[in-house]
Structure 1
Amino acid sequence: MHFNKNKATTGGNMIQRYMEKQLTSLHHASVPSVTNYKDKVIAFLTGALVIILLPYIHIGIIHLKLWVPAKTRVFRNNCSCSCFDTVFRGEYEQPGTTTYKHVYFNATWQTLRIWILTVIFILLAYESIKYLIPLARRRNLRISMFILYVINIYPHYYSWWSYFSYYNEDFYSYYKHHMLFTITELMSSAVVLNLCDVRNEFVSWKILAIVSINIMHVLVGGMDQFIHEVIYGHGARFHKARNIGLMVPDILHVAVPLWAFHKYLVRKELQWKDIFYKEELLMCIVFISIGTLIGRLL
């Protein structure tokens, strides 16, 4: 029997090429999965870090170390609370004078609202970070819009903390007024997030939406507290710091989009009049006017 070495070699090469092809296909198929996994892990860790650090910076550093460092110390062994309904403690504890606990919460609708609000804000924060991480890793992040996202963290956190306080203390004098700011601020942030992706081009309505909302914020905030407490100096230090922290992001949300859009027009060799319609500008003026009026009335 005659054995053909050439045929054997050819068959071996075919098997080798087939195996190499399959392994290459497997490698290429796994790359997106690994990349997506890394994005999710980085987004989770970043989101967790931001959400954990914000209350610590707020209460553990700014309040405890800077704002009210001379607060009277609480002695845990001889303090008590008579306002705790003990529902979540079940049969282990009864209402009355209860011993020290790090966290008290009562079984009320206000507590449920605080929980709902907190969950929503945490999810929104995480989802926004999860959206940004892949953009940054693939160099699709528009820096100018990302700066607006970062600088608006404080106003959003301030809103969450304010609603927490409203419900916790049953104090609703500024609730409707603040709700106007929160809703419009979320709308503005949604557009900013969209424009954080360089693949999403600047269009007139997006720029006008951001600018109009924040001009309204500047006008209402200025007439509301900023001029009285900051410009005229009638506010306490923490009032001034708060008002500046809320006003600066609004001003930047007007200036930065217009500046970025101007650069975009120059690059495209376009004129402002070629992009904006008179109807759009008129709608912006109407929105700013009505929004400012409502903000002053609430």
Structure 2
Amino acid sequence: MAGSASIRLEIARRRVEFACRCLLRRPALEDARLYDLVGHLNSGAPSRKHRNDYAQLLEVATPADDLRIIRTSKPANLRYRAGQSAKLELSGVRRRYSFASIPNDEWLEFFVELRPGGKFSEQLRDAKPGVELRVDGVKGKLSLQEGARYHLMVATVTGLSPLLSLLRDHWTSETSTEQRFIVLQGASYRNEFGYAPVLAELAHKHSGELLYLPTVSRPDAEENRGWDGATGRVEQWVDPVIDSLELRPTNTAIYACGQPDMVQAVKARYEAGGFVVRTEPYD
């Protein structure tokens, strides 16, 4: 068993080295068919706004039992920047979530992990389009580091949201740049990569500028049968990417969002190495 795990790890490492070389030299990225493209939301026109800080639930996608991608109308008075978060309220229960959408969108979008027994989670679990929720308390300072050519983004599951918002917002004003984006996303199971379709589309549209590497931490689980991508915890892939691309603190910013232990580990290790590491705390 240990031997086969080592072989899988070596194969995955060689794949990321190849993908990194492609990112540097030519606009060829891994085939999007390698990724499990689940949880895709169809575009839809937002409904009429209600009260100034209330939104209406428009669509709900369920990439996994404990995950929801929700799209709501945009309250009339809401203003936010890519990378920020807001408080969502259902029946008096409030929780903070990062925007996966961008300010130019006519709707709001959030990637939510449901907590068993959670007061907010259990309301959202069976929520249907038409439900009203309050959206306010916008805050956050996460943004792309000025002057960085490489942006190495490290996320676990729903921690991808603010990073996806930053990516999409970047390309609303920049059609082609010298900047390069590497997105590493970790999850226990393959169906937790709810935004794989969006990232695959971005990688195709901005070929050569974006590398997306999802990795599962439980490769032997039945839910991951057939997975032939990267394996292991997402923070274990930061060093191979840095080495393959020859990234340096002078040209690279690192971003870490998601599971607190991962965020702290990445921040401590790479700040000590001289890198700027940007994170987004939550209250």
TM range, smaller chain: under 0.3
Query: Which fold has the larger relative contact order, with Cα–Cα distance below 8 Å and residues 6 or more apart in sequence?
Result: 2
Q: TM-score under structure 1 normalisation?
A: 0.25
Higher strand share: 2
Higher helix share: 1
> For the pair shown, which has the larger CA radius of gyration, 1 or 2?
1
